[in-house]
Structure 1
């Protein structure tokens, strides 16, 4: 159950705007920080169900400016691999207790920060050669699974797409198409698991304008602000929220 009080709006509005900016202008997978923020105050299943329609709305808004600017061959492999990944995520969501989901979301948050900082310091490098079709399918499986349980499928997709030597525009357009397709796959299983309620749709109606605002801003900020600044904010959000989620899950 969602209580539409001041706490809800103070958490949800910035989180949804952030998700829109991330998905609209920075194909990084950082949009899942919105889920990490909301899971602090609401059960994981409630948060996942609330965010999915909003993320799907952002996906639709982003398709137009990036239409057919993606790398279809790469997208096709990742989307196909996403099918079993979504099925695996649906199974876990059906059997996992809420604290396990909190722990997983918190762990993914901290791993995302660790991965990005490791790349910045040169400890980990993006692939220097094109990864093959098998890796593309495996990437899709990982993205489908992590996206289903935490809306956090971005990192594996980023690694694969960066190995393909895509330019900035084609890379961003490819992430938009891939997650539009994966989020569509998730809708039916989410509905079957009872993730959508009356409160979900009230929340969607209240937050949809802010999701669209974030998407609009992300497309325009794509070439206006440096990526490092956006990621610094992301790292801070994910470190704080990820640590709290793990603490809450264990205690």
Structure 2
């Protein structure tokens, strides 16, 4: 049993988990998860996903406590069944994919999310009327979210495609998202264990990163009334642009 000794891993992993924790705390909750893309620059992408999962599970506990009782049961009943189905599909695919293929998918998801976010934030874009909930649409995007969450812990963007147009208030949106991914992450422990991604070495590395979980979540809660989302989004988007491009390049080169 050993931990990762490459200093670049720790230089990238520490701020990545802090940013992820801030997002899970409800501050700029649609900013995406940068932990796996950044760590995948140094270690194999499946290993990065395995290291990230226990830390994300710890973050979920802190997030649930912070947003207790504010979620929408109506929306959770729509998106959770699809999410669980997406985990099953993602687990089946994850075990068959090479490191290059996983890197290509992780990088591609990061770049697609970045492009969509920049398009929606373009100047002059009119604010659409709130959408109405739909079981078919919510189940579909819940399934896509469960799939991408299993492969790369990147389920936020697909879920946002369904939840954001509903125009829920900020607390309800954050709490509903937190509950959804808490369920997803704890269910994912089973296929990750079966696929060997929760090895002793990965778990020890996760343990060393674990203190960042409550710190990041508390920072996210603290920043909500003290800092504009725009600054945080710019930091995350810059990181996603660089890491996503590098992972796509490495993934294509390794195929």
Return the TM-score normalized by structure 2. 0.93
Distance 1:203 1:237, change over 3 A: same
- Residue 96 of structure 1 aligns with which residue? 97
Shift of 1:127: 6.7
Residue 55 of structure 1: SS of its match in structure 2?
helix
1:72 corresponds in structure 2 to: 73
Report the CA distance between 1:16 and its aligned residue: 1.1
2:221 maps to 1:219:
yes
Q: Structure 1, unaligned stretches of length 5 or more?
A: none
> Are residues 1:230 and 2:232 paired?
yes
Is 1:106 the counterpart of 2:101 in the alignment? no
Structure 2 residue runs of 5 or longer lacking an equivalent are none
Tell whether 2:192 aligns with 1:190: yes
- Counterpart Cα distance in 2 of 1:139 and 1:177: 16
TM-superposed deviation, 1:233: 0.8
- Matched residue, 2:246: 244
Name 1:174's counterpart in structure 2.
176
Q: C-alpha offsets along residues 150-169 of structure 1, whole Å, 9 cap, x if unaligned? A: 11111121122223231011
Q: Per the alignment, do residues 103 and 5 of structure 1 end up closer, same or farther by CA in structure 2, a change over 3 Å counting?
A: closer
Q: 1:126 to 1:147 in 2, by over 3 A?
A: farther
Q: Is the 8 A contact 2:50 2:202 kept in 1?
A: yes
Structure-1 separation of matches of 2:100 and 2:3: 18
Indicate conservation of the 8 Å contact 2:28/2:232, yes or no: no
Which string of whole-angstrom CA distances, capped at 9 and with x for unpartnered residues, describes residues 119-171 of structure 1?
01166976742141111111110110010011111112112222323101111
Secondary structure at the aligned position of 2:58 is classed as helix
Q: Is the 8 A contact 1:130 1:165 kept in 2?
A: no
Deviation digits for residues 99-136 of structure 1 (CA, Å, limit 9, x no counterpart): 01000000001001100000011669767421411111
Instruction: Give the root-mean-square deviation of aligned CA atoms.
Output: 1.7
In the TM superposition, 1:1-251 aligns within 5 A as 2-26=3-27, 28-121=29-122, 128-251=130-253
Change (3 A) 1:4 1:30: farther
Shift of 1:47: 0.5
Q: Structure 1 residues 167 and 250 mapped into 2: Cα distance closer, same or farther (>3 Å)?
A: same
Is residue 119–residue 126 contact of structure 1 (8 Å, CA) maintained in 2?
no
State the number of aligned residues: 251
| Pair 139,82 (structure 1): closer, same or farther in 2 beyond 3 Å | same
Q: What is the TM-score when the length of structure 1 is the normalising length?
A: 0.95
